[in-house]
């Protein structure tokens, strides 16, 4: 441009003839058309922006497609449906944090040494489950599950059933420590969010092995309120709030309306084998069992469950152990490795972990039961009342 400007001034000063003026005009027009850097920059930037938009769109499309991973065929044939009136099976994709739905990321370390990033609560909101995962790397109550699974008679079509997944501590243990295909249920939206965010960062090989239902299980299809205890999101209770300690509250922002469905309306009994169930639903166990058909119960070998007297009484579930016995299970006290006699109707005064074993199976005798299965006694205000 400087050469053109110099030529312009020289020609005008010397009073060049019309031909030169026409030449100058031609050159001037040429430079405007061909060398205007502003025009070229605008065009280049426009093209670059178009490329960026295209790349961004492609990236979003790629991420969206990557988040939707088809479940293992065994899982698909094990269920009758993936949705209800106003719910559908959870997708594993990153969701923007808002209104208390957030992640405090930590490293989860399974009992077999494998690890992965996990979304948990800040300690102030959940000092028990999230607190132990942050300090120890995992939730100890889940340690026994891989041992039970590996010693069970699982087949190619076997699934592990998790009823009350909470933030996914036992789901993560089973994903990382076994080859189990998992169907999990968790109705509390804030807990569900944690599992979704954790799974969004997992490899597809793990995503394929999990179907996550955003519902609770009960004796009938209905809507109910779910509560969560102050400083203990593990204490998520359907229908009525049960305190861990006298002063505990259930903050309003932790209360949600959730969907409840019968288990036999979800699972396909024609293609079902369940070596292991983990059930921890804060006293709602009788309702879950009432929604489990006899056909489903026949396909189950072992149920690991929590027996918390005050939660069971609050939910009017005082016949849980007799119900399990009627379905063909013996009840083992994990700590003492003994069958609990029928006449012993209140074997646990506080919270304890039990194993219900189908009478036709005998693999439990050789299981090395972890200390987390031992009879639990209260310390200060609370002892293992989590909905894991």
Instruction: Say whether pLDDT at 363 is over 70.
Output: no
The 8-class DSSP code of residue 156 comes to T
Enumerate residues 6+ apart whose C-beta is below 8 A from 129: 120, 121, 139, 166, 167, 169, 233, 234, 386, 388
Q: Is the pLDDT of residue 212 over 60?
A: yes
Lowest mean pLDDT among 64-68, 199-203, 248-252, 287-291: 64-68
pLDDT attached to residue 2:
43
Predicted pLDDT at 344: 74
d(CA 161, CA 332): 19
The reported pLDDT for the residue numbered 335 is: 57
| pLDDT at res. 59 | 32
Lowest-confidence region among 5-9, 73-77, 182-186, 308-312:
5-9
Cβ partners under 8 Å of residue 369, min gap 6: 144, 334, 335, 337, 355
Give the per-residue pLDDT at 16: 38
Higher pLDDT, 134 or 63: 134
Instruction: Kindly report, residue by residue over 78-88, the tens digit of the pLDDT.
Output: 999 999 999 99
Averaged over 362-372, what is the pLDDT?
40
Question: What was the pLDDT predicted at 340?
Answer: 87
Which pLDDT value is given to residue 352?
84
Report the pLDDT value the prediction gives residue 364, as an integer from 0 to 100: 42
pLDDT at 231 over 80: yes
* pLDDT tens digits along 26-44: 444 443 333 343 343 344 4
* pLDDT score recorded for residue 189: 97
pLDDT at residue number 100: 77
pTM check: above 0.85: no
What b/e readout covers 253-262, taking b as 16+ CB neighbours within 10 angstroms? Answer: ebebebbbbb
Q: Give the tens place of pLDDT for each residue, 325-346.
A: 999 999 998 755 788 888 776 6
Query: What is the DSSP pairing of strand 222-229 with strand 232-238?
Result: antiparallel
| Length of the chain as a residue count | 388
β strands within the chain, DSSP E: 104-109, 115-120, 158-163, 182-185, 210-213, 216-217, 222-229, 232-238, 256-261, 273-279, 300-308, 329-333, 338-339, 351-358
d(CA 125, CA 131): 9
pLDDT of residue 349: 62
- Provide the sign of the torsion angle of the four alpha carbons 265, 267, 268, 269, taken in this order: negative
Per-residue pLDDT at 304 exceeds 50 = yes
State the average pLDDT over residues 206-235.
Answer: 96
Q: What is the pLDDT of residue 383?
A: 37
How many helices, marked H, and strands, marked E, lie in the chain? Answer: 13, 14
Say yes or no to pLDDT of 8 above 50. no
**Does 60 have pLDDT greater than 50?**
no
Give the model's pLDDT for residue 54. 34
Beta bridge partners of 237: 227
């Amino acid at each position: 441009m400087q050469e053109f400007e110099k030529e312009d001034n020289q020609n005008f000063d010397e009073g060049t003839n019309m031909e030169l003026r026409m030449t100058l005009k031609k050159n001037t027009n040429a430079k405007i058309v061909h060398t205007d850097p502003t025009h070229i920059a605008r065009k280049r930037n426009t093209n670059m922006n178009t490329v960026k938009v295209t790349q961004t769109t492609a990236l979003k499309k790629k991420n969206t497609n990557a988040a939707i991973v088809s479940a293992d065929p065994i899982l698909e044939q094990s269920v009758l449906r993936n949705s209800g009136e106003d719910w559908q099976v959870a997708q594993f994709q990153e969701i923007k944090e808002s209104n208390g739905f957030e992640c405090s990321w930590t490293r989860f370390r399974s009992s077999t040494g494998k690890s992965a990033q996990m979304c948990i609560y800040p300690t102030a909101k959940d000092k028990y489950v999230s607190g132990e995962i942050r300090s120890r790397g995992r939730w100890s109550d889940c340690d026994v599950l891989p041992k039970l699974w590996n010693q069970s008679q699982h087949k190619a079509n076997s699934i592990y059933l998790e009823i009350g997944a909470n933030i996914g501590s036992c789901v993560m243990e089973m994903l990382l420590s076994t080859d189990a295909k998992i169907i999990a249920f968790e109705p509390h939206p804030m807990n569900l969010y944690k599992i979704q965010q954790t799974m969004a960062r997992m490899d597809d090989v793990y995503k394929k092995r999990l179907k996550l239902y955003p519902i609770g299980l009960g004796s009938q299809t209905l809507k109910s309120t779910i509560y969560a205890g102050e400083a203990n999101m593990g204490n998520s209770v359907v229908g009525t709030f049960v305190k861990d300690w006298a002063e505990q509250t259930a903050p309003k922002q932790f209360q949600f309306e959730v969907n409840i469905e019968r288990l036999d309306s979800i699972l396909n009994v024609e293609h079902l084998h369940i070596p292991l169930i983990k059930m921890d639903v804060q006293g709602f166990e009788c309702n879950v069992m009432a929604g489990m058909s006899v056909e489903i119960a026949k396909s189950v070998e072992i149920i690991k469950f929590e027996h918390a007297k005050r939660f069971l009484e609050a939910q009017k579930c005082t016949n849980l152990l007799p119900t399990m016995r009627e379905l063909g299970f013996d009840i083992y006290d994990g700590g003492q490795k003994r069958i609990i006699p029928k006449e012993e109707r209140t074997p646990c005064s506080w919270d304890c972990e039990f194993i219900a074993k189908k009478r036709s199976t005998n693999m439990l005798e050789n299981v090395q039961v972890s200390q987390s299965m031992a009879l639990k006694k209260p310390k200060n205000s609370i002892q293992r009342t989590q909905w894991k």
